[in-house]
Chains A and B, each alone.
Chain A
Amino acid sequence: KAGVTQTPRYLIKTRGQQVTLSCSPISGHRSVSWYQQTPGQGLQFLFEYFSETQRNKGNFPGRFSGRQFSNSRSEMNVSTLELGDSALYLCASSFVGVPETQYFGPGTRLLVL
């Protein structure tokens, strides 16, 4: 069974631009969560989607948004990029969410210049 895939793996943007990251969950998984990983703040929860609905949200500004499609694939969007948005963005999938085991993708590394 294929694992969680994330595209692109690396991305360079400039301040003020917007970016869209994609996550394809393991086949059959309906829950997709997104996390931001930085050296200073560590791993922080962004949001979770299940059956195209956002069920849970972390403490991030409205510039961070996401959506989920009917095939469970998910995208997250960051508008008006700031230098501090440089991070590794990880998505994780599971059948129905925590406390089930979450399977993480390799991440998208975003660099904002």
Chain B
Amino acid sequence: AQSVTQLDSQVPVFEEAPVELRCNYSSSVSVYLFWYVQYPNQGLQLLLKYLSGSTLVESINGFEAEFNKSQTSFHLRKPSVHISDTAEYFCAVSPAVRGNTGKLIFGQGTTLQVKP
């Protein structure tokens, strides 16, 4: 079985400051890793994902995440946040095994609050 732990339920930060949202996972098999963002009253949007290859993945809006297999982590970072980044962020994993399709296992979410 897989599980995902997001270590902070809320992260307050000032605008233009850097931020890190932490995610650790547990799995006996290889996994794919994802970060999703949810704005109020909306569905989830994919920020970035790690399937294989380079352990550092980047999104188009300045976020990046690094897969660390030894520490089973996939922390999300942004060097300078904007007010518009205020949202809830979810880390998710999916077992990279045959027969597993369409299933994401989510963490509890981290609310990023960007203050002016």
Contact = CB atoms under 8 A, between A and B. Distances in A.
B106 interface: yes
Contacts of B51: 99
Interface stretch (B15-23, B62-70, B73-81, B95-103): B95-103
Contacts of A43: 90, 92, 104, 106, 109
Q: How large is the interface on A (under 10, 10 to 19, 20 to 34, 35 or more residues)?
A: 20 to 34
B11 interface: no
B49 A99 contact: yes
B83 interface: no
Chain B interface, DSSP helix/strand/loop, else mixed? loop
Contacts of B42: 106
B30 to A, nearest CB: 11
Contacts of A107: 43
A81 interface: no
Interface in A92-108: 92, 94, 96-99, 101-107
B108 interface: yes
Contact of B102 (A4, A48, A105): A48
Interface of A: 4, 31-33, 35, 42-45, 48-50, 55-56, 58, 90, 92, 94, 96-99, 101-107
What 8 pairs across the A-B complex have the smallest Cβ distances?
A: A48-B102, A104-B43, A97-B101, A43-B106, A33-B102, A97-B102, A99-B32, A104-B44
